Amino acid sequence: MYKFVLPVVEFTEEHNRFRLEVREFLQKEREKGTYETRCDSWLNGFNPEFSRKLGEKGWIGITWPKKYGGSERSALDRYIVIEELLAAGAPVAGHWIADRQSGPLLLRFGTEEQRKFYLPKIAKGECYFAIGMSEPNSGSDLASVSTRAVKTDGGWILNGTKTWTSGAHHAHYMIVLCRTRPKDSQNRHAGFSQLIVDLSSPGVSIRPIKYLTGAAHFNEVFFENVFVPDENLVGQEGNGWKQNMAELAYERSGPERILSTYPLLEELIKELKENQDLPRLTEAMKLVAELNSLRQMSIGVAKYLEEGKDVGITAALIKDMGTKFEKLVAEMTRLLVNATPSLDSEKTIEKYLAQSILHAPGFTLRGGTTEILRGIVAKGMVAQ
């Protein structure tokens, strides 16, 4: 039987001091006008200057070895940084994916040259990555991906289309999941590889896709006979599926799957406190208790990830519950305060409410849908 037993993690005084250091920095930057708090800032808040500042602080790639530009700090320190960034609704979209999954992927599967080349730039907050998984005809069924790379002298020729690619219009590179061998009817997961594609290469074109708000943060990316040099293959040729699954564990396990609407929750509690509205504050505590539970689980997973434990199923579980929670924050807030959601409202809570409601549909789709995640959890349990 699969056990979802997670460790109880205690933050130390030292952790708390570090947390306050991060918080103070964020407060100062906000006061200086470097950024404005918003919901879902990890996908929508793009600000290269801010990313660079975080890099200077050593807070990107914070756990990585120093020789690759990291700070060799613990997973819990990293957890503190990203949690504080999310709670502050800071503009981290630029470097987020590189810090969260591309860097760790290269650290685990990349060559020494790749690590030396990419990781220091990422850690400086100057190099962004995009996720090249989904395609027009391959969403949940990722194994049906049809982008393909054919071997040529000194490299690969890549053809195909990726879509829904968040931040591709700002990113420098994309890690593309593609076929390097024909389909094997015996094994759907065989014959995939991961390639690092320089998005400024000839043959790459990027077309923005407007989100339902009208803003464009994701894209369609076309590859037409793009040459990708040999040294850009990640890990082993043919091992792409397994590597991609490892990448997804990084993608799914973090606190951004719980905290996308946190700034709204903070405002809600603030308002109810100001009103001394005990009955509604009591209702809102159900959100707070849920957040506390999810947060403990998520911290536990971070700890396990650091210890090298396989957390794939638990990460899927928390992402499923966390994204439902993110949506619930918006749905409960609208019933607990007198606010009309509007993106251009003068009132902070109305603005955050609007951001949350409009972005909510994506929460339970991106990174694997609710239905797919639950399938992973159930199959994982039944198989044990």
Ligand X SMILES: Cc1cc2nc3c(=O)[nH]c(=O)nc-3n(C[C@H](O)[C@H](O)[C@H](O)COP(=O)(O)OP(=O)(O)OC[C@H]3O[C@@H](n4cnc5c(N)ncnc54)[C@H](O)[C@@H]3O)c2cc1C
Catalytic residues: 251
* Pair 64, 103: CB distance under 8 Å: yes
φ and ψ of 152, to 5 deg: -140, 180
If contact means CB under 5 to 8 A according to the sort of partner, which of another protein, ligand X, none does residue 111 touch? none
If contact means CB under 5 to 8 A according to the sort of partner, which of ligand X, another protein, none does residue 366 touch? ligand X
Q: Give the count of residues interacting with ligand X (CB under 6 A).
A: 17
Angle (CA) 244 46 84, round 5°: 80
Q: Contacting ligand X (CB under 6 A), which of 140, 275, 282, 292? A: 140
> Where is 119: in which H helix or E strand?
helix 112-123
Which residues lie near another protein (CB under 8 A)? 1-2, 4-6, 8, 10-11, 13, 16-17, 19-20, 23, 83, 87, 262, 265-266, 269-270, 273, 276, 278, 281-286, 288-297, 300, 314, 317-318, 320-321, 371, 373-375, 377-379, 381-382
Q: Contacting ligand X (CB under 6 A), which of 164, 173, 241, 325? A: 164
Q: How far is the CB of 194 from ligand X (least distance, A)?
A: 12
Q: Contacting ligand X (CB under 6 A), which of 197, 248, 366, 377? A: 366
> What is the torsional sign of CA 91, 93, 94, 99?
positive
Measure the CA–CA gap between 317 and 373, rounded to whole angstroms: 7
If contact means CB under 5 to 8 A according to the sort of partner, which of ligand X, another protein, none does residue 206 touch? none
362 touches ligand X by CB under 6 A: yes
If contact means CB under 5 to 8 A according to the sort of partner, which of another protein, ligand X, none does residue 245 touch? none
* Pair 330, 314: CB distance under 8 Å: no
HSE of 118 in the Cβ direction (CA atoms, 13 Å)? 29
Nearest residue to the partner ligand X, using Cβ:
139
If contact means CB under 5 to 8 A according to the sort of partner, which of another protein, ligand X, none does residue 317 touch? another protein
Identify any residues that bridge with 228 across adjacent strands, giving them in sequence order. 156
Of 83 and 247, the one with the shorter C-beta distance to ligand X is 247
146 touches ligand X by CB under 6 A: no
DSSP labels, 90-115:
---HHHHHIIIIIHHHHHHHS-HHHH
372 touches ligand X by CB under 6 A: yes
Measure the CA–CA gap between 191 and 87, rounded to whole angstroms: 41
Of 18 and 363, the one with the shorter C-beta distance to ligand X is 363
Of 134 and 356, the one with the shorter C-beta distance to ligand X is 134
Provide the 3-class DSSP secondary structure of residue 151.
strand
Measure the CA–CA gap between 280 and 277, rounded to whole angstroms: 6
Of 40 and 135, the one with the shorter C-beta distance to another protein is 40
Q: How far is the CB of 368 from ligand X (least distance, A)?
A: 6
Pairing, β 129-132 against β 148-152: unpaired
> Where is 47: in which H helix or E strand?
none
134 touches ligand X by CB under 6 A: yes
* Pair 47, 96: CB distance under 8 Å: no
Angle (CA) 261 263 269, round 5°: 105
Of 13 and 113, the one with the shorter C-beta distance to another protein is 13
165 touches ligand X by CB under 6 A: yes
Identify any residues that bridge with 218 across adjacent strands, giving them in sequence order. 166, 209
If contact means CB under 5 to 8 A according to the sort of partner, which of another protein, ligand X, none does residue 372 touch? ligand X
Q: Which residue has the tokens 């020789």?
A: 67
254 touches ligand X by CB under 6 A: no
Chain contacts with ligand X (rule: CB under 6 A)? 131, 133-134, 139-140, 164-166, 218, 362, 365-366, 368-369, 371-372, 375
